[in-house]
Structure 1
Amino acid sequence: MMREVYRAERGKAPEIVAAFKTLTKVFEEAGYTNRRIYVDYAGPMDTVVCQWEFDSLDQYLTMERGFFVNPDENTQSLINTLNSNATSGHKEIYEVIQ
């Protein structure tokens, strides 16, 4: 299971959420499951988390690397949105046991 956790600039969490929502088709085509988008309720404000499951870490890494090689206009727009509205971010990878 993968989580991408972003701290948005103050008041910019909706832009990060919208960016993650644009990935719905890509995630479905890749076979990712149990996709969820969360926003903070307690803790650091303007935190957005996108979480999903996949069968193969290699599959995920191959797809992600492909996004950054000659990105099309939509992909570049997504990258720009995340880069210009987030102050920081990180990934968390977990093995799903049950």
Structure 2
Amino acid sequence: MMREVFQAERGKAPEIVAAFKTLTSMFEEAGYTNLRIYVDYSGPMDTVVGQWEFDNLDQYFTMERQFFVNPDENAQALIDTMNNNAKTGYKEIYEVIQ
């Protein structure tokens, strides 16, 4: 299972949420499951978390690398949205036990 956690610029969480919604449709096509988007309720404001599960970590990283090589107009717009509206971000990768 992977989580991508972004701390958005103040007031820019909706833009990050919209970008995650775009990613979830792509991830569903790739066969990823249990797709979720979370926003903060406590803790740092404007935190957005995207979470999904996949069967193969290599498959995920292959897809991610391909996404950033010569991105088309839509992919570049998504990259720009994340880069221009987030202060920080990080990934968490877990093995799902049960």
TM-score of Structure 1 vs Structure 2, range by shorter chain: over 0.9
Matched, 1:4 2:15: no
Residue number in structure 2 paired with 1:87: 87
Residue number in structure 2 paired with 1:39: 39
Superposed CA deviations along residues 13-50 of structure 1, whole A, max 9, x for unmatched, are 00000011112321111100000000000001000000
Residue number in structure 2 paired with 1:72: 72
Extract structure 1 runs of 4+ deviating beyond 6 A.
none
CA distance in structure 2 between the partners assigned to 1:25 and 1:7 by the alignment: 22
Report the aligned-residue RMSD: 0.5
- Number of aligned residue pairs: 98
Matched, 1:97 2:89: no
Partner SS for 1:25: helix
List alignment gaps of at least 5 residues for structure 2. Answer: none
Alignment of 1:43-58 (within 5 A): 43-58=43-58
Question: Identity over aligned residues, as a percent?
Answer: 82
TM-score scaled by structure 1? 0.98
